[in-house]
Amino acid sequence: MTDLDLSLLSGRNRRIPEILLQRARELRLRQTTAECILWECLRSRRLHGFKFRRQHNIGRFIADFYCHEAKLVIELDGLVHKRQPEKDAERDAWMQACGLKVLRFENRRVFDDIEEVLEDIGRCLPG
């Protein structure tokens, strides 16, 4: 792991700037349709008993979904991401340097084949 404090990953660190915490709250209130669909499958430990968080602060970033136990970040890519590939690559590299696995899915995959998306996520979970 880099010099990143492990508590930043768990969400128990109070050093996260208030502006980032507020942004995560706003994103939870304004989920995309794809995020809603995937969240229904992940929430309440519905996928293999693992706890997922949505719009979770990790360092200076906000992950769409995060499983602390598996050190797994899940990102759903819509139109915004097509316009910012360099930013996404930087973010993924930073998270990977922190020991996290990052999975990216286009929104279309969530709409067209949620079962395959869940299988892909399941393969990244321990056990």
Identify the pLDDT of residue 9: 60
Q: What is the three-state SS of 48-116? A: CCCCCEEEEEECCEEEEEEECCCCEEEEEECHHHHCCHHHHHHHHHHHHHCCCEEEEEEHHHHHHCHHH
Identify the pLDDT of residue 108: 97
Identify the pLDDT of residue 19: 86
Q: Could you identify the residue written with the tokens 């989920």? A: 31
Tokens of 121: 């996520």
In tens digits, the chain (127 residues) has pLDDT values of: 444 555 556 555 557 888 888 888 888 898 999 999 999 999 999 999 999 999 999 999 999 999 999 999 999 998 765 678 899 999 999 999 999 999 999 999 999 999 999 999 999 999 8
Half-sphere exposure of 47 (CA within 13 A, CB side): 27
Tokens of 18: 């208030």
- Spatial contact of 113 and 37, defined as CB atoms under 8 Å apart: no
Amino acid at 2: T
Is 6-122 a domain of CATH 3.40.960.10? yes
